[in-house]
A and B are shown apart, each in its own frame.
Chain A
Amino acid sequence: MSKSSPRRFAGRSTGTVTVIEAKVHRSSARNAKMAFILTAVIVGLLSAVVAASYWHPIVSLVVGALIGVPTGAAVWLLVRVWPVIRLLWWWSLETTLAVLLLTAWVQLANHTPTLVTLLVVALVVGVPAAIRPVRRQVKAWTWCLIVRHRLRVCFAQFIIANQSGSLPLILWAKPTPVGERVWVYLRPGLSAKDLEGRLDKIAVTCHASTVLIERASENNAAYLRFDIKRREVLTAHVGSPLVDVIDPSAPVSASPLTVPTALDLPDVDAPTIRIPAQGKPATKQPAASTANGSKPAASSASPEADDVSDWI
């Protein structure tokens, strides 16, 4: 409450984007009130109905009110502190990791002599840092953590979805050879098309080179996959598996070619610019006869025609 009123005031006086903020807060307050009333009435009535089978109706109404009002108050509180809970949830993984690390450190420091402590720390930090695949894995997963927060920043800062300001659910993330892949569940007010126009901004926010989005589900348009690219793997040279199955010592089989002698401009007279003359006689004849010992396709077409007429 204390936060929303000055904001609303500021929004009104400057007429900037904060108007949206004020709206969001107001609707949060209103939501809380509505939640309180609805919960209180429904829970109160239900408990009154149940209580009526044991006691006098008036007593049961009082009992209903006694149960309904505190329940409503609890729901009101939950809705009011929801933004804080959301924030805590957002940082829960990081908080847990930090707590675990700190606990481990404190336990270690308390139970072992300093030298051993330092040795253990040096091992725990040094070994992953020295072994490349491990280091790469740690780095990749750290980026996954970071990128989820960066995506949330995108949604909160420049992709305002709807009036109540609900953000898309950013689900899990996993490393890929080029960067990260994040699954996102959109809330009402956004679509994949809206996001397509802002891919460059999202890439900037995620400190990436490019971002692509793709539907993650055929049946649900809200379920998207973000491919965040920060590395290029396609510069590698790719060999073909065909090379491994052949025998390179196979005898050379090349039909003789007649190589033209006019290989420089002065050798070619002005009117004789017939390119086809060079390639045709040399290549066609052998191709037809020695190809793979088979006859050219014209003669292979005729038995087919015969066969077909046999069957019709």
Chain B
Amino acid sequence: MTTTIPTTADAVPVGPGLSMFDPIFIGIDEFGQPVYLDVIYRNLLTAGEPGGGKSGLINNICGHAALCDNTRLVLFDAKLVELGPWRDLADAFIGPDIDQGIDVLRRLLVVATNRYAWLLANRRRKLADGDGMSVIVTIIDELAMFSTVLGTKQQQEEFSTLLRGLVSLGRACGMPVVAATQRPSWDIIPASLRDLFGYRAAFRCTSLNSSNIILGQGWAEQGYTASDISPTNQGAAYLLAEGGVPRRIKAAYLTDTDIYNIADYAAWTRRPTSSTGTPAVNPTEWEMAA
């Protein structure tokens, strides 16, 4: 299967000039074909047992976003190490601190509502590539830490409610959400929030039921169950995306060295452009677009 990897390298337009509007390479399917996701217009929920490879997949998306032009990262990681390498690139990096998390989510919601007002004023319904507005990618690893462990019950509820708002509003205004959790049962993510995620990736689960909770009711009965993934095959998952039928995929894996190399490179290439460009360019481009 290693033969397929070089071909995908040509196929993906990767590079510092990447855009979040490009499909993101996340791995191969069982026929050896590359799998891409349009995270920009769909939210992604990854779930599965500990050590299944969720953070591996999320780091792929994070790496892509870090190399993208005009993209902001908002990272939530109670475990610090999974998304920590990107902390210097992120506009906000939230460790195990729910107050800070709630603050950032509030700010994101304000941005989202403002963007919709802007879209309305421009007689549009959806943000497009040429708008020059930044894409704000929110990535949450171990969602359960924020919704069930840290803070008080009230704070946890507020976090879930705000997140729900962001997930439902963010899609069309360039603010996608990528979340990972070990088991998305009702006590960790309310079903009303879970169902807002358009893309689902189910890493290995221990039971048919857990797999059904992630992918949606009824898939296990049809033979699509993440419990038949071998425990030793980390990074293999069922992905429910375009096509409506779960596909078996193997997520691409970035080693620690790869991650830090990409982060360093991204920081290196971002620094000059954003310090001079971003604040000034954005308003002018809006005027042009309008």
Q: Which residues of A contact B (CB under 8 A)?
A: 176-178, 196, 199, 210-212, 214, 229, 232-248, 250-255, 275-276, 278-280, 283-284, 286-288, 290-298, 300-301, 303-305, 307-308, 311-312
Contacts and interface: CB of A to CB of B under 8 A. Distances in A.
Interface of B: 1-2, 5, 8-9, 12, 14-16, 25, 27-28, 30-32, 60, 63-64, 67, 72, 74, 80, 84, 87-93, 95-97, 100, 104, 107-108, 110-111, 114-115, 117-118, 121-122, 134, 136, 150, 221-224, 228, 230, 233, 235-236, 245, 248-254, 258, 260-272, 274-275, 278-279, 282-283, 286, 290
B88 A243 contact: no
Contacts of B282: 303
27 contacts: A176-B31, A199-B223, A214-B245, A233-B30, A233-B31, A234-B236, A235-B230, A238-B250, A239-B253, A240-B60, A241-B9, A242-B25, A244-B9, A245-B15, A245-B67, A253-B88, A283-B95, A292-B270, A293-B270, A295-B279, A297-B91, A300-B134, A304-B111, A305-B114, A307-B283, A308-B121, A311-B122
B91 A296 contact: yes
B222 A242 contact: no
Contacts of A293: 270-272, 274-275
B139 to A, nearest CB: 14
Contact of A234 (B5, B248, B269, B270): B248
Given A242-B254, A246-B265, A300-B72, 10 more contacts: A177-B30, A178-B30, A229-B30, A234-B249, A236-B1, A236-B2, A245-B14, A275-B150, A284-B93, A297-B108
Contacts of A241: 5, 8-9, 12, 14, 25
A303 B180 CA distance: 32
A161 B60 CA distance: 48
Nearest to A301: B111
Contacts of A286: 87-88
Shortest 9 CB-CB contacts between residues of A and residues of B: A279-B95, A293-B275, A236-B1, A292-B270, A246-B265, A276-B97, A250-B265, A241-B9, A253-B267
A291 B111 contact: no
From A239, A296, A312, name the one whose CB has the most chain B CB atoms within 10 angstroms.
A239
